[in-house]
Each structure stands twice: as C-alpha cells, then as structure tokens.
Amino acid sequence: MLGRLGKGRCLIILALALGFAWLMYQAGLVETWSRSEEYSHGGLVLLLIGYVVYKRRADLAAIAPRATWLGPVGGLLALAVMIVGAVAGIFQLQMYSVWLFAVAVVLALGGLPLLRKLFLPLMIAFMVIPLPKSLEPALTAQLQLISSQLGVWVIRLFGGVVYQEGNVIDMGGTRLLVAEACAGLRYLYPLMSLGAIGGYLLRAPLWMRWLLFLSTIPITIFMNSFRIGVTGLLVETWGSQHTEGFLHFFEGWVVFIAAALALLLVAWVLVRLAPERRDLFDAFSVDAPPSAPGSERASSIVAGPALVGVTLAVLVAAVAGPSLAAREEVLPQRQPLTRFPAAIDEWTAREYRLPPLVEAVAGASEYFYADFFSPRGTVNLYVSYYHTQRQGQIPHSPAVCIPGDGWVIVSNEPVEIRTRSGEVFEANRLITAKGDRKVLAYYWLKQGQRMYRRELLARLDLIRFSALERRTDGALIRLVAELMPGEAVADADQRLGLFAQALTGVLSDFVPD
C-alpha cells in the first residue's frame, strides 16, 4: 500500500506500531480484552480487520495520493483527548483517543477518500471499545428485562414454578438475579462484532448486510433467555450449585456457539434471497469487489509530512500518557461511613447490609444503608462513596437499577432540596410503583462541593475536578419513602425534604466538600 518501503518509511511504520501497542496497553484496552468476558474478542477482531484490509490493499492503492491537513489535525485532537483522559483518570477517553489516532493515520495516508473506504472497518474496531459505564446500563436495562421475561416463559413451558419481579426470578427456595454478568452482554458484544464483520464481507445488497448485523440483537435476547430458563430448571431440579463453576462457564460457551450458528442461519437465508445466488461461503469474501471498468490505479499512497505529524502525536501521547496518569490523587480528610451517626435530629437509624451480589454490582468503596425512623414516618438512606472514579467505578443510577427489581417508574423529575445552611440544589424526584405499593425517592450525586442530578454533567465535571483539585472521589445519595396506605404523595415529599435538610448537616463529614 505504501509502494516500496525506504528506511524512513520503515521507521515511521515501526514507530506507529510500537506507539499504538503502548497506547492500547496504557489505556487499559489490552487488560479489558484479556479479563472481560464481554470484550475478550477485541484483539481477535482487530487481527481479522487487519487481515481483511491487507487482502484489499490493491483496492486501497487505487486511491490517488494527496496531501491533506486533516491527518495532523486529527492527531492533535486525539492527543488532546488522551491528555484529558489521562489527567482526569478516565480510561474511556484514553481508549477513544487510540481510535481517533487510527482515524488520523488513515486521513494522513489518503485523506477523505481513504477514510470512506475504511469507514466500516474503523467502525467495527470502535465496537470493541467498552461502552461508558454510565451509559451501558441505560442501553441494556430493557434487554435484561426482556431476557428475564422470556427466561421465565421457558421455565414455565417445561413445568417449572416461578415468580418474576423484574430481573429477580423467584423459584421458591432459590432466587436468581439476572445481573449484568448474566444479562446476555457477554454474547451481545462479540455477536454484534461478528455480525458487523459478516455484513462487511457479505456480497449482497446493502439492506441485507444491515439486516445480518441487526439480527444479532434478537438472536442474543432469545439465546440468553433460553439460557436463563435452562439455568432455572437446573436449579429447581438439582440445586443452585449447577449455576456456578464449570457448568456456568460451559453453558456460556454452548449458548454463544448456538447464537453464532443462528447468525449463520440468518446469513444463509439472506444469501438464498439475494439476486445473485451463491453458496453460503462463496457469498463472503475478504477480497475487494471487482473494480469498475476504466478505473485508474495509483502506484502507492504517499507517506509524507502528514503521516510524520501524526506519528509524532502518537509518540508524544505514548510518552506523556503514563506520567500524566500516574499523578497522585489528593485524598480528602473524612470520616468513614462505618461511623455514620445512628441518629440525626429526631431520626434514629437501623442499619442493614446489601446482598453480596448487589454490593459487587454497585462497586462502591464504602456504603451506608439504613432505615431512619421518626414520628413523621420512615426514610431509607443509601450513601455509596467512591474513593476514586479513575478506574471506571462510578455510581449506578437508581433510575436504571430500580426497574430491575420489578418496579415501574411512574415519573422522574427535578426537585429542589434546601440544605441546613439555606442553600438550594436540584435532585432527582422518582416515583415508582409495584402492584399496590408506591415509593418516592430523591437522589443526587455529590463531587466535592457540587451536587448533580444528571450523571453526564457529573462525569464531565470529573475532568475539571481531577485536573484542578486532583480528586475524583464522589458519592451517590438516595432517599426513599414508601407511601403508607392512604398517605398523599405531598406528605412523603415533606418527609423526604425534612430528612434531606437534616442530612446535609452531617453529610460533608463523610462525603467531603
């Protein structure tokens, strides 16, 4: 693709390869692909994309060489994103910067024409970057509920007795929680990547290629529901030990292989419907489509100053990234939540512990969970504190987690909370219902002196918080009041408002300003 390689070009290619390898390691991509079941396919996908691009190198060489300023500009943008991510300790931004550097290299080599040719491979590569942890639950919560519902249907189909509340499947002596680790995501991401590669290689009309890719979503939901159902039946027949250990791992691989075969079946049907009927494997080709008559071919793509500029940006990122990421954080003085007061004004507490699985999903450094009683009624308080959010451990939004326990969100709107000192800030006011029960909840995020009701704004402010104050600690505060029979929502609002005002008088000792 680069014609005859001189020593200078060889050095540039070597520097880019080493720089990219180090950036992927530094950003945490290599660790994610090696440890995460959901993204363990990442390295294999990149190798496959590289092989396809290599096989289509002759088609890429047809692009006329052109000098472009877009490559260096893209390199500077990627460098800026990497620096911000390293300073703020947000691995997600560092991961995105690696992908942006790849786009910048493509622009430096062939400008927009080459970017158009490689757009789909680049988008497939983008899919192996983990979703932000603040976004992933919101996008997949509904898939979890659908999987649970279909899984319960499978259990009942084979005579099982089961009761479902959201993602909690109650089988009498055993309760299964369809948490993130078993929500089908371990199939969804690799299967979507497989479907995207298949769609890219499929010789068929565009709508068929898109259909092959999108079919991965219902296939994943159906297969995961079947897996939940089979797991439930095993639990009912032989006990909960059959959902753990080797059998749990084995079931995962069996179901993924079944999902891949289902995707292959969809591809076979599409190939049979295509205008040019081919054998299934002949319909997929890593070679470039035949060139149009009269198309001109260029001898090479110029690796000139634009590529040198991008290479320098990659090397700067590789050198500066570790030192910026290694900055020590300031740990503010605070009281541990184990010393949280058992009485606040007229309110007295009874503390509880969360189930171990819920603790693991929340991932908080510390938490406090208790009912506070007073003549006005009961308020449940949950404070989850994170010493650092640099490793992607962030508070989970109750708006996403609550439906997983069978509750339905009736309304979600802002509410003003007045602190003990007289200041006012906005929190989320959530009304949820399950059967005849109705619950009112207030919740907000606290980072330093600032309160946030929107998770996105809190994540963006984390960049400022880390860069200027060298802190990334934060907390989720949630207050819950269940409405008693005949109690008006306004009375529960008053109860939560008074407790929240009292809480702000002691909260800063445990979640520092």
C-beta separation of 168 from 401 below 8 A: no
Residue range 339-395, pLDDT digits in tens = 999 999 889 999 988 877 677 777 788 999 999 999 888 999 999 999 888 766 778
Q: What is the pLDDT of residue 248?
A: 56
**What per-residue confidence (pLDDT) applies to 4?**
45
303: closest CA among 106, 117, 115? 106
Residue 11: predicted pLDDT: 82
pLDDT of residue 293: 47
Of how many residues is the chain composed?
Answer: 513
Q: What angle do CA 55, 95, 34 make, to 5 degrees?
A: 75
- Specify the pLDDT at position 2: 42
Helix (H) or strand (E) holding 446: strand 437-447
Largest CA distance in the chain: 87
User: Could you tell me the sign of the dihedral formed by the alpha carbons of 130, 132, 135, 141, in that order?
Assistant: positive
Q: Are 101 and 311 in contact (CB under 8 A)?
A: no
From first to last of the 513 residues of the chain, give the pLDDT tens digit: 444 445 667 788 888 889 899 999 888 888 888 887 778 888 889 998 888 888 887 777 766 656 578 889 999 999 999 988 887 777 888 899 999 999 999 888 888 888 888 999 999 999 999 877 666 666 666 666 666 667 776 666 766 656 555 556 655 555 555 544 344 456 788 888 999 999 898 888 888 989 999 999 888 888 777 777 776 666 666 655 555 554 455 556 777 888 889 999 999 988 888 777 777 777 887 776 655 444 444 444 555 788 888 999 999 998 888 877 777 778 888 999 999 999 998 899 999 888 776 777 777 889 999 999 998 889 999 999 998 887 667 787 777 666 656 677 888 899 999 988 888 999 999 998 887 888 999 999 999 889 998 888 888 888 888 878 888 889 999 999 988 888 888 999 999 999 999 999 899 999 998
The label of the residue with tokens 């989850």 reads 384
CA–CA distance, 41 with 128 (Å, rounded to integer): 8
Output the CA torsion sign for 170, 174, 175, 178.
Answer: negative
Cα–Cα distance between 501 and 141 in angstroms, integer? 32
What pLDDT does residue 500 have? 93
Q: Backbone phi, then psi, for 478, in 5-degree steps?
A: -130, 130
Domain assignments of the chain as residue spans, ordered by start = 7-130+302-325, 136-282, 337-507
CB 199 within 8 A of CB 210: yes
User: Is 363 within 8 Å of 392 (Cβ atoms)?
Assistant: no
Q: For 333-375, give the secondary structure using H, E and C.
A: CCCCHHHCCCEECCEEEEECCCCHHHHHHHCCCEEEEEEEEEC
For residue 396, give the nearest of 422, 359, 432, 424 by alpha carbon.
359
Residue 70 token pair: 């877009």
Tally of CB atoms within 10 A around 270: 22
- Residue 37 corresponds to which tokens in the numbers above? 């079941």
Q: Which of 137, 188, 140, 147 is CA-nearest to residue 167?
A: 147
CATH number of 337-507: 3.40.1000
As beta bridge partners, residue 411 has 431
- Predicted structure pTM score: 0.75
Torsion of CA 106, 112, 118, 122, to 10 degrees: 70
User: Do 16 and 5 contact (CB within 8 A), yes or no?
Assistant: no
How is the beta sheet containing 163-165 ordered, strand by strand? 163-165, 168-170, 175-177
* Residues 6+ positions from 343 with CB-CB distance below 8 Å: 349
pLDDT of residue 246: 44
